Amino acid sequence: MTFVSVRHVIGKQQFEHVYQPLWDLMNWSIFGYESLLRVNGVKNIEHLFQKARDEGCLHELDLASLEGSISQFPFWERKRGLLFVNLYPSTMLHRGFAQLLKKLVERFPHIENRIVFELNETEEGDDLWKDGKLNATVKLIREYGFYIAIDDVGKGASTLQKIIELQPDYVKLDRYFAQGLAADVEKQKMVSLLVNYCSPKMVLVLEGIEKETDLAQAKLLRVPAAQGYLLGKPDRLT
Protein backbone atom coordinates (compact mmCIF):
# COMPACT_ATOMS: atom_id res chain seq x y z
CA MET A 1 0.00 0.00 0.00
CA THR A 2 1.26 3.43 -0.92
CA PHE A 3 -0.61 5.51 1.65
CA VAL A 4 0.00 6.45 5.28
CA SER A 5 -3.35 5.36 6.72
CA VAL A 6 -6.89 4.41 5.77
CA ARG A 7 -8.18 7.53 7.50
CA HIS A 8 -5.99 9.58 5.18
CA VAL A 9 -7.56 7.83 2.17
CA ILE A 10 -11.04 8.56 3.53
CA GLY A 11 -10.26 12.18 4.36
CA LYS A 12 -8.76 12.90 0.95
CA GLN A 13 -11.36 10.73 -0.83
CA GLN A 14 -8.57 8.90 -2.64
CA PHE A 15 -10.85 6.23 -4.07
CA GLU A 16 -13.29 5.60 -6.88
CA HIS A 17 -15.88 2.99 -7.79
CA VAL A 18 -16.23 0.62 -10.69
CA TYR A 19 -19.36 -1.36 -11.48
CA GLN A 20 -19.84 -4.98 -12.54
CA PRO A 21 -23.09 -6.06 -14.23
CA LEU A 22 -25.47 -8.70 -12.92
CA TRP A 23 -27.36 -10.65 -15.57
CA ASP A 24 -30.87 -12.03 -15.61
CA LEU A 25 -30.24 -15.44 -17.23
CA MET A 26 -33.92 -16.05 -17.95
CA ASN A 27 -34.39 -12.88 -20.00
CA TRP A 28 -30.72 -12.45 -20.92
CA SER A 29 -30.48 -8.85 -19.80
CA ILE A 30 -28.61 -6.75 -17.24
CA PHE A 31 -30.74 -5.98 -14.18
CA GLY A 32 -28.17 -4.28 -11.97
CA TYR A 33 -24.56 -3.51 -11.11
CA GLU A 34 -22.38 -4.21 -8.10
CA SER A 35 -20.29 -1.30 -6.91
CA LEU A 36 -16.65 -2.14 -6.15
CA LEU A 37 -14.19 0.14 -4.38
CA ARG A 38 -10.82 0.92 -5.99
CA VAL A 39 -7.83 2.75 -4.48
CA ASN A 40 -4.60 3.55 -6.30
CA GLY A 41 -1.76 1.34 -5.11
CA VAL A 42 -4.05 -1.24 -3.52
CA LYS A 43 -4.31 -4.51 -5.41
CA ASN A 44 -6.43 -6.36 -2.85
CA ILE A 45 -9.29 -4.27 -1.48
CA GLU A 46 -10.00 -6.86 1.20
CA HIS A 47 -6.60 -5.99 2.68
CA LEU A 48 -7.65 -2.34 2.76
CA PHE A 49 -10.77 -3.16 4.76
CA GLN A 50 -8.72 -5.35 7.09
CA LYS A 51 -6.31 -2.45 7.63
CA ALA A 52 -9.31 -0.23 8.35
CA ARG A 53 -10.45 -2.73 10.95
CA ASP A 54 -6.97 -2.69 12.52
CA GLU A 55 -7.01 1.12 12.59
CA GLY A 56 -10.49 1.19 14.11
CA CYS A 57 -12.09 2.97 11.15
CA LEU A 58 -13.90 0.18 9.30
CA HIS A 59 -17.20 1.96 9.88
CA GLU A 60 -15.90 5.20 8.33
CA LEU A 61 -14.47 3.43 5.27
CA ASP A 62 -17.63 1.40 4.76
CA LEU A 63 -19.84 4.50 4.87
CA ALA A 64 -17.50 6.52 2.63
CA SER A 65 -17.57 3.70 0.09
CA LEU A 66 -21.37 3.50 0.33
CA GLU A 67 -21.91 7.21 -0.26
CA GLY A 68 -19.33 7.30 -3.04
CA SER A 69 -20.85 4.39 -4.91
CA ILE A 70 -24.32 5.97 -4.74
CA SER A 71 -23.19 9.44 -5.81
CA GLN A 72 -21.29 8.07 -8.82
CA PHE A 73 -24.02 5.73 -10.09
CA PRO A 74 -26.22 7.02 -12.96
CA PHE A 75 -29.61 6.37 -11.36
CA TRP A 76 -31.28 8.67 -13.91
CA GLU A 77 -30.65 5.99 -16.53
CA ARG A 78 -33.42 3.55 -15.65
CA LYS A 79 -31.85 0.88 -17.84
CA ARG A 80 -29.02 0.59 -15.31
CA GLY A 81 -31.42 -1.11 -12.89
CA LEU A 82 -30.39 -1.89 -9.33
CA LEU A 83 -27.23 -0.85 -7.52
CA PHE A 84 -25.68 -3.52 -5.27
CA VAL A 85 -23.50 -2.01 -2.54
CA ASN A 86 -21.39 -3.92 -0.01
CA LEU A 87 -21.90 -3.36 3.69
CA TYR A 88 -20.57 -4.94 6.87
CA PRO A 89 -23.03 -5.96 9.60
CA SER A 90 -20.94 -3.94 12.07
CA THR A 91 -21.75 -0.81 10.03
CA MET A 92 -25.45 -1.62 10.08
CA LEU A 93 -25.33 -1.94 13.86
CA HIS A 94 -23.49 1.34 14.33
CA ARG A 95 -25.51 3.87 16.31
CA GLY A 96 -25.53 6.37 13.43
CA PHE A 97 -26.71 4.01 10.70
CA ALA A 98 -30.44 4.78 10.98
CA GLN A 99 -29.71 8.49 10.65
CA LEU A 100 -27.50 7.77 7.65
CA LEU A 101 -30.36 5.98 5.85
CA LYS A 102 -32.58 8.99 6.41
CA LYS A 103 -29.94 11.35 5.03
CA LEU A 104 -29.34 9.15 1.98
CA VAL A 105 -33.03 9.18 1.07
CA GLU A 106 -33.20 12.95 1.56
CA ARG A 107 -30.05 13.58 -0.48
CA PHE A 108 -30.78 11.01 -3.20
CA PRO A 109 -34.60 10.70 -3.42
CA HIS A 110 -34.30 8.69 -6.65
CA ILE A 111 -32.63 5.71 -4.93
CA GLU A 112 -35.83 4.24 -3.48
CA ASN A 113 -36.31 0.65 -4.71
CA ARG A 114 -32.98 0.87 -6.55
CA ILE A 115 -30.40 -0.20 -3.94
CA VAL A 116 -29.51 -3.67 -2.66
CA PHE A 117 -27.35 -3.83 0.47
CA GLU A 118 -24.98 -6.80 0.20
CA LEU A 119 -24.12 -8.00 3.67
CA ASN A 120 -20.45 -8.90 3.89
CA GLU A 121 -19.03 -10.93 6.70
CA THR A 122 -15.72 -11.92 8.19
CA GLU A 123 -14.76 -14.33 10.94
CA GLU A 124 -14.15 -11.31 13.17
CA GLY A 125 -17.73 -10.15 12.75
CA ASP A 126 -19.49 -13.50 12.81
CA ASP A 127 -20.92 -12.96 16.29
CA LEU A 128 -22.75 -9.86 15.06
CA TRP A 129 -25.09 -12.05 13.03
CA LYS A 130 -26.41 -13.42 16.32
CA ASP A 131 -27.35 -9.91 17.50
CA GLY A 132 -31.12 -9.44 17.43
CA LYS A 133 -30.59 -5.81 16.46
CA LEU A 134 -29.43 -6.93 13.01
CA ASN A 135 -32.92 -8.22 12.19
CA ALA A 136 -34.39 -4.91 13.32
CA THR A 137 -31.96 -3.01 11.09
CA VAL A 138 -32.82 -5.20 8.12
CA LYS A 139 -36.48 -4.36 8.74
CA LEU A 140 -35.61 -0.64 8.83
CA ILE A 141 -33.67 -0.93 5.57
CA ARG A 142 -36.72 -2.45 3.88
CA GLU A 143 -38.99 0.25 5.30
CA TYR A 144 -36.84 2.80 3.46
CA GLY A 145 -37.44 0.93 0.20
CA PHE A 146 -34.11 -0.89 -0.03
CA TYR A 147 -33.34 -4.58 -0.55
CA ILE A 148 -31.05 -7.09 1.18
CA ALA A 149 -28.57 -9.62 -0.22
CA ILE A 150 -26.32 -12.08 1.57
CA ASP A 151 -22.95 -12.24 -0.16
CA ASP A 152 -20.51 -15.15 -0.64
CA VAL A 153 -22.93 -17.84 0.52
CA GLY A 154 -21.05 -21.12 0.83
CA LYS A 155 -17.79 -19.46 1.81
CA GLY A 156 -16.38 -18.97 5.29
CA ALA A 157 -18.93 -18.18 7.94
CA SER A 158 -21.96 -18.00 5.65
CA THR A 159 -24.68 -20.43 6.64
CA LEU A 160 -28.14 -21.41 5.52
CA GLN A 161 -29.31 -20.32 8.95
CA LYS A 162 -28.71 -16.68 8.03
CA ILE A 163 -30.73 -17.06 4.85
CA ILE A 164 -33.62 -18.61 6.77
CA GLU A 165 -33.61 -15.97 9.52
CA LEU A 166 -33.03 -12.84 7.42
CA GLN A 167 -34.97 -13.92 4.32
CA PRO A 168 -32.88 -11.77 1.97
CA ASP A 169 -34.15 -10.63 -1.42
CA TYR A 170 -30.98 -11.90 -3.10
CA VAL A 171 -28.68 -14.81 -2.27
CA LYS A 172 -25.23 -14.49 -3.86
CA LEU A 173 -23.57 -17.87 -4.18
CA ASP A 174 -19.78 -17.87 -3.85
CA ARG A 175 -17.68 -18.20 -7.02
CA TYR A 176 -16.48 -21.63 -5.85
CA PHE A 177 -19.74 -23.10 -7.14
CA ALA A 178 -19.33 -21.55 -10.61
CA GLN A 179 -15.78 -22.78 -11.16
CA GLY A 180 -15.95 -26.08 -13.00
CA LEU A 181 -19.73 -26.30 -12.55
CA ALA A 182 -20.22 -28.01 -15.91
CA ALA A 183 -18.01 -30.96 -14.91
CA ASP A 184 -18.84 -31.24 -11.20
CA VAL A 185 -22.02 -33.20 -10.45
CA GLU A 186 -21.86 -32.43 -6.72
CA LYS A 187 -21.75 -28.69 -7.35
CA GLN A 188 -24.65 -29.07 -9.77
CA LYS A 189 -26.70 -30.82 -7.09
CA MET A 190 -26.01 -28.10 -4.54
CA VAL A 191 -26.75 -25.26 -6.96
CA SER A 192 -29.98 -26.96 -8.02
CA LEU A 193 -30.96 -27.39 -4.37
CA LEU A 194 -30.47 -23.67 -3.69
CA VAL A 195 -32.31 -22.68 -6.87
CA ASN A 196 -35.33 -24.64 -5.67
CA TYR A 197 -35.11 -23.28 -2.13
CA CYS A 198 -34.81 -19.63 -3.16
CA SER A 199 -37.57 -19.61 -5.76
CA PRO A 200 -39.80 -17.64 -5.82
CA LYS A 201 -39.16 -15.51 -2.70
CA MET A 202 -35.45 -14.85 -3.31
CA VAL A 203 -33.23 -14.47 -6.35
CA LEU A 204 -30.17 -16.71 -6.46
CA VAL A 205 -27.14 -15.05 -8.05
CA LEU A 206 -24.22 -17.28 -9.08
CA GLU A 207 -20.98 -15.30 -8.83
CA GLY A 208 -17.68 -15.96 -10.60
CA ILE A 209 -18.88 -17.11 -14.04
CA GLU A 210 -15.76 -17.18 -16.23
CA LYS A 211 -16.34 -19.97 -18.77
CA GLU A 212 -19.00 -20.52 -21.42
CA THR A 213 -19.52 -24.14 -20.36
CA ASP A 214 -20.21 -23.17 -16.76
CA LEU A 215 -22.63 -20.45 -17.89
CA ALA A 216 -24.45 -22.99 -20.08
CA GLN A 217 -24.69 -25.38 -17.12
CA ALA A 218 -26.04 -22.63 -14.89
CA LYS A 219 -28.78 -21.98 -17.44
CA LEU A 220 -29.61 -25.69 -17.57
CA LEU A 221 -29.98 -25.66 -13.80
CA ARG A 222 -32.30 -22.67 -14.16
CA VAL A 223 -30.09 -20.35 -12.10
CA PRO A 224 -31.98 -17.05 -12.42
CA ALA A 225 -29.05 -14.63 -12.22
CA ALA A 226 -25.27 -14.55 -12.57
CA GLN A 227 -22.21 -12.36 -12.36
CA GLY A 228 -18.61 -12.81 -13.49
CA TYR A 229 -15.83 -11.77 -15.83
CA LEU A 230 -17.39 -13.69 -18.73
CA LEU A 231 -20.51 -11.55 -18.41
CA GLY A 232 -18.74 -8.27 -17.75
CA LYS A 233 -15.69 -6.97 -15.91
CA PRO A 234 -15.85 -4.18 -13.29
CA ASP A 235 -15.52 -0.84 -15.05
CA ARG A 236 -16.57 2.79 -14.91
CA LEU A 237 -20.05 3.56 -16.18
CA THR A 238 -20.21 6.21 -18.88
Coil vs helix vs strand at 200 = coil
Q: How many domains does the chain have?
A: 1
Does residue 197 lie within any of the structural domains? Answer: yes
Does residue 234 lie within any of the structural domains? Answer: no
- The residue range of the domain holding 24 is 6-226
Rounded Cα distance, 63 and 78, in Å: 25
Q: Tell me, what CATH number does 36's domain have?
A: 3.20.20.450
Query: Can you tell me the mean pLDDT for 182-194?
Result: 98
Q: How many CB atoms lie within 10 A of CB 12?
A: 9
Higher pLDDT, 130 or 117: 117
- Which pTM was predicted? 0.93
Q: What is the pLDDT of residues 55-102, one digit of tens each?
A: 999 999 999 999 999 999 999 888 899 999 999 988 998 888 999 999
Please return the burial class of 96, using the count of CB atoms within 10 Å of its CB with bins 0-12, 13-18 and 19+.
Answer: exposed
Label residue 157 by pLDDT band (50, 70, 90): low
Mean pLDDT of the chain: 91
Q: Looking at the predicted structure, is the pLDDT value of residue 124 above 60?
A: no
Cβ partners under 8 Å of residue 140, min gap 6: 98, 101
